[in-house]
Structure formats: structure tokens, C-alpha cells
A = this chain, B = another copy of it.
Amino acid sequence: MGKQMTEMLKGVLEGMVLALLAVRPAYGYEITASLRERGFTDIAEGTVYALLVRLEQRGFVDVEKVPSEKGPPRKVYTLNARGREYLAEFWTSWSFLAERLEQLHEGER
């Protein structure tokens, strides 16, 4: 993917994970896999786990430990009310940014 994508993901990855959790609860490994399927093949597992810890600390998600049939127990994350609120703000910021960027891209030609 390259360094540009790495830097661009800062602040955005968090929103992507929240958006995934908005659809339905999920656990770390599952989220990483989901992101990879969506084309973000280089996302490191450690990155996602660290992010989930932050989300929990900030009170955006609720956590539940669920035993797994294959491997150690899963930590299932569920987006809560605060998380939804924060996600809404994320989309506001994102839309703002995307709009201006689009303008710049047009204006360049």
C-alpha cells in the first residue's frame, strides 16, 4: 500500500472500525479480516487490537468475552450510545474533508 496510505489511515482507521461495529458487534481478529477483505491488506493485527483498547478506554464500545471453538476466547466489541455519537461526528468530519479534497482535485485540472 505504501507510506502514503499509512499516514492517511491515521484518524480514519478508527472511524472505519466504528463503522464496522455499527453494523454488528465483532471481535478483533474478525475486524482485521474484514478490513483485509475490503482491500486494506496491510493492516497489522497489532494495530487493530491497540485501536480497540483505545476505543474501550474512551467508552465508545462495550466488551464481552465469548468462548471460541477454535482458539482463545474472543473479545466481542459492541458499539454503544457514546460510540454512535462519536461515529456521527466522524462522518461529519470526513464529509467535510472529502468535499474539500474533491474540490482540490477538480480545481487542479
How many chain A residues sit at the interface, stated as a range, is: 35 or more
Question: A97 at interface (Cβ–Cβ under 8 A)?
Answer: yes
Q: Determine whether the beta carbon of B10 is less than 8 Å from that of A108.
A: no
**A69 CB-CB contact with B under 8 Å:** no
**Interface pair B10/A101, CB less than 8 Å apart:** no
Closest to A3 in B: B11
The digit string for A71-109, where 1 denotes a CB below 8 A from any CB of B, is 000000000000000000111011011101101110110
- Cβ of A5 and Cβ of B97 under 8 Å apart? yes
Q: How far is the CB of A31 from chain B (nearest CB, A)?
A: 12
Minimum distance in angstroms from A6 CB to a CB of chain B: 7
B-chain residues with CB within 8 Å of residue A96 when the two chains form the complex: 5, 39
A1-60: which have CB < 8 Å to B?
1-2, 4-12, 14-16, 19-20, 22-23, 38-40
